[in-house]
C-alpha cells in the first residue's frame, strides 16, 4: 500500500512599496520557491483596508502600497518553513519587501486564509454584479466567517 504524505500549507504576507516590486517578488518566488509555491496573490492598500474593515481583523504587517500573499505547500514542514524563512530574509534585506510575516500560529493563518477567501469572493462580486453579493453574503460568506471564527476560538 502506498502511503501519501499530507501537504503542509504555509502563508507569507509581505508588503511592497510598488507594483514593480510585486512583479520582482513574483519572479523571485518562482525561482526560489518553485517546487513548494502554490499561490501568489496581491492587493493594493485600499483593498487591504476594505478586507480588514469588513472582516474585523488587523493587518499583521506595517502599512504598504501593495500586499502579497504567498501560499506554499509541501510534504516536509521543517524544510518548507526554512525555505520560506530564508526567502523572506533575502527579499527583505534586498529591499524588495518592506515588511513580512510567515503565518505559523493559528491566528495568523486564519487572517491569511480570510484575506484570501474575501478577495476571491470580492472578485466574484465585481465579475457577477451586486445581485451576486447578496447571495454570497447570505449563503456563503457569513457561514465561512462564522466557521472560521469558531475554529479560531478553539485554538
**pLDDT one-digit tens code per residue, 109-139:** 777 777 777 777 666 666 555 555 555 555 4
Neighbours of 100 (CB within 10 A): 25
User: Nearest 5°: CA angle at 51, between 50 and 53?
Assistant: 65
Q: Residues 69-91: pLDDT tens digits? A: 898 988 888 888 899 999 999 99
Assign domain 8-154 to its CATH architecture.
2-Layer Sandwich (3.30)
SS3 of the chain: helix, strand, coil, percent, to 5: 60, 20, 20
Residue 145 pLDDT more than 80? no
Query: Over the stretch 18-44, which tens digit does the pLDDT of each residue have?
Result: 999 999 999 999 999 999 999 898 888
pLDDT band at 108 (very low <50, low <70, confident <90, very high): confident
Condensed to tens digits (0 to 9), the pLDDT of residues 35-68 reads 999 989 888 888 888 778 877 778 888 899 999 9
Amino acid at each position: 500500500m502506498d502511503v501519501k504524505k499530507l501537504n503542509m500549507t504555509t502563508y507569507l504576507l509581505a508588503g511592497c512599496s510598488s507594483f514593480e516590486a510585486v512583479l520582482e517578488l513574483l519572479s523571485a518566488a518562482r525561482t526560489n520557491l518553485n517546487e513548494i509555491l502554490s499561490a501568489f496573490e496581491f492587493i493594493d492598500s485600499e483593498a487591504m483596508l476594505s478586507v480588514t474593515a469588513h472582516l474585523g481583523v488587523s493587518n499583521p504587517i506595517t502599512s504598504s502600497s501593495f500586499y502579497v500573499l504567498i501560499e506554499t505547500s509541501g510534504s516536509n514542514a521543517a524544510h518548507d518553513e526554512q525555505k520560506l524563512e530564508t526567502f523572506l530574509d533575502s527579499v527583505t534585506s534586498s529591499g524588495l519587501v518592506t515588511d513580512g510575516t510567515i503565518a505559523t500560529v493559528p491566528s495568523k493563518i486564519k487572517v491569511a486564509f480570510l484575506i484570501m477567501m474575501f478577495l476571491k469572493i470580492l472578485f466574484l462580486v465585481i465579475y457577477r454584479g451586486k445581485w451576486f453579493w447578496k447571495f454570497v453574503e447570505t449563503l456563503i460568506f457569513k457561514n465561512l466567517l462564522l466557521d472560521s471564527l469558531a475554529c479560531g476560538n478553539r485554538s
